[in-house]
Each structure stands twice: as structure tokens, then as C-alpha cells.
Amino acid sequence: MGAGLRTTAGRGRLYDNVLDTIGDTPCIRINALAPKGVTIYVKAEAFNPGGSVKDRLAVNIIEAAERNGTLKPGQTVVEATSGNTGIGLAMVCAQKGYPLVVTMADSFSIERRKLMRMLGAKVVLTPRAQKGFGMYQKAVELAKANGWFLAHQFETDANAEIHEATTAREILADFKGQRLDYFVSGYGTGGTVTGVARVLRKERPETKIILTEPANAQLVGSGKAQERSADGSPAVSHPAFEPHPIQGWTPDFIPLVLQESIDRKFYDELLPVAGAEGIKCAKALAQKEGIFTGISGGSTFAIALQVAARAAAGSVILCMLPDTGERYLTTPLFEGILDDMDESEIAISKSTPGYQMG
């Protein structure tokens, strides 16, 4: 073998099924985009088999329900989702043999629907005007009418629990003996920040936790409490919500899972981010670092850059990248990315005589 040739040695184990490959995602150093004197790592959740952090939640919701007997063999699972949880649940249900019905507002990207359907799920669309609350209520309605198992991603204890048991432990192991000054995360359900914070507050109390949400939909930042039903589910749409381009983040209510982080002061600072800035940073990660993430990942990274710009020399920042960019093809993330050749590509083609397009 040539000197310097990359080699691999295998994982040292064989896997019984795809679900056993969930987790142990890498923390990757940012090189071109990090400011001088500060180190930024990203935790790349696209390395999960379903392409997002929600694989963790999906498998634990189903397995926790299997353990406590609330999910019966062959029972249909139903859940409201903007996409990633639905994709994760579709993968889990396909492997375990449960039918899955997903309710989703029709404002979310078409490729999300196709991915879930490819994995065998049924996707029921709800009107975008009724927002996340509408798709949530549709899932509740279907569960009650048909005796289906409602996954309850926004309320279930299984959500933050899996991040406490896996995501947080991976971070502790990867940064053992190393500085970790900041942890940056957005929220969809709030499971990631709540589960990770439970551990970091105890075992790495020096790590400041930064939470972010869309600048034009600052639900937590508004200071207005979420009206809830007796089971903790949202009773109404939150008054501070406005439509935003950061798919997967910040539904039009404050999830009960996130409420724990608010009540227990699990984050040190709340910083808003504009969707346009998230899109810009997602493109920069792809084109300058070779790291392909979605708008939510770009938005989290934008806040990590803000934190880095003011951090003390030598600081180390870890930023969550929730998913891959491939489920954003029909969103503003890919505006300006052409199907056909642009002028520079045509010029390259014409620079030699053969095999030119007509």
C-alpha cells in the first residue's frame, strides 16, 4: 500500500438489523469556516441510517412502548411530523413490522413524503394554514377513531430519555479529557437539548448550553407560556408563531419535552437566527467543508459562528447538525442550484471538441 493511503479496519462487529446502527455519530472538526483561535466541531446526525437525529427518538418511542405493553404486535402507529421523525419511524416500523400512518402539513418538502412512502408508510396531508397544531390534532383524531398507537413525540418521556442515554454519553466520551466550552442546539421537540442538558449540567457543568430558534418565530423568546391540555399536549397554537423556512424546527407550539429545559434553566442563552442565514451557512458547510446538512443544521451552525466570534481564545464549541441536506431539494436551500449547465460549465464543455450537448 502507498504511503499515506487511507485504510479502514471494520467496526469489529456484525449487526443484527439496521436499528442497531443508530447512534455513535461523529463529531467533526470545522476547518475552513471556523475563526482563528476557536475550535468548532459539528455532531453529524446524518450518519444515522435514516439520515437524521430523529432515528434515536423513533426507535426509543417504539421500543419503550413495546416494553411497557402500550404498543401491541401488528398495531398501527400514527404520528404528526414535519418529516425526520416520520422517516425514522417509517424505518423502525418497516424493520419491526408495524403499519405506520404519518400526518404532515402540506407545506413540508415533497421528498419527505416520498421517503416515508418508500419505507412503507402512509402519509396523510393536512392544510398548511392549520400549521403544526393541525397535523398534530389530525394524528390524535386518527388514533382515537381507529385504536392506533399515537407516538406522542412532543410529550413522551422516551424522547429526552434516549438523548440522555446516547447522544449525551457519546459527547462525554468524545470530549473526555478535552475542553468543551459550548454546546449549541436548536429544537423541534426539544428532546436533544433536554436529554443532553440533563447530563452536561451534572458531568460537564462548565459547558454553556446555547439554544436557538427562528428569528421570526421566537416562541420561547416571547416569554409567553404555552396553553396545554391535561396530558401536556398543546391546547392551542402559540401566538408568537410565524411560518419560517427552518423545516423540522419550532412547530407552532412549545412541546412539553422542551418545557423541561425552560423550567429547569437547562440553557444559558437563547439566540434567534434568521432562516436566510441558516440557508447561507448550510451552503457554506457543503461548499467549504464538504459537510452536507439541511437548513436546521445550517441555522445551528450560524449560531455556533456567532458564539465563536465572541468566545475566548482556545474555546471549543460543539454544534448539532440534525440531518442531511438531501431532504431539502424542493426548499429554498436549493434555490439557485441549477439542473442544467450554467455558462461556466458550458465553457468547460466547449474547451475540448468532443461529447458536447446539442
Contacts of residue 296, Cβ cutoff 8 Å, sequence gap at least 6 = 186, 188, 246, 247, 248, 249, 278, 322, 323
Check whether 317 has a pLDDT greater than 80: yes
pLDDT at 3 (0 to 100): 76
Mean local confidence (pLDDT), 218-241: 95
pLDDT at 75 (0 to 100): 98
How much of the chain exceeds pLDDT 90, in percent?
92
Q: 310 near 292, Cβ under 8 Å?
A: no
CA 12 centroid distance within chain: 28
- Smallest CA-to-CA distance from 251 within 217, 299, 301 is with 217
By CB neighbour count within 10 A (0-12 exposed, 13-18 middle, 19+ buried), where does 211 fall?
A: buried
Region of poorest pLDDT, from 202-206, 231-235, 354-358: 354-358
Tell me the pLDDT band of 160, cut-offs 50, 70 and 90: very high
CA atoms of 69 and 262, how far apart (whole Å):
31
Q: pLDDT digit string (tens) for 176-217?
A: 999 999 999 999 999 999 999 999 999 999 999 999 999 999
18-47+167-334 and 54-150, same CATH topology: yes
Mean local confidence (pLDDT), 156-169: 97
CA atoms of 294 and 283, how far apart (whole Å):
9
pLDDT at 354 (0 to 100): 93
Tell me the pLDDT band of 267, cut-offs 50, 70 and 90: very high
Q: pLDDT digit string (tens) for 54-98?
A: 999 999 999 999 999 999 999 999 999 888 999 999 999 999 999
Cell of 353: 471538441
pLDDT at 39 (0 to 100): 98
Overall pTM surpassing 0.85 (yes/no): yes
Q: For cell 429554498, what's the residue?
A: 332
Note if 138 is an active site residue.
no
Check whether 48 has a pLDDT greater than 80: yes
Looking at 43, 54, 131, 138, which residue is catalytic?
54
pLDDT at 107 (0 to 100): 83
pLDDT at 1 (0 to 100): 61
Q: Candidates 3.90.180.10, 2.30.42.10, 1.10.10.10, 3.40.50.1100; correct CATH number of 54-150?
A: 3.40.50.1100
Check whether 2 has a pLDDT greater than 70: no
CA atoms of 213 and 273, how far apart (whole Å):
6
Tell me the pLDDT band of 358, cut-offs 50, 70 and 90: confident
> Which CATH code is given to the segment(s) 18-47+167-334?
3.40.50.1100
Looking at 82, 185, 233, 296, which residue is catalytic?
296
Please report, for the chain, the start and end positions of each structural domain, with discontinuous segments joined by +: 18-47+167-334, 54-150
pLDDT at 83 (0 to 100): 86
Note if 72 is an active site residue.
no
Q: pLDDT digit string (tens) for 280-292?
A: 999 999 999 999 9
Q: pLDDT digit string (tens) for 111-149?
A: 999 999 999 999 999 998 898 889 999 999 999 999 999
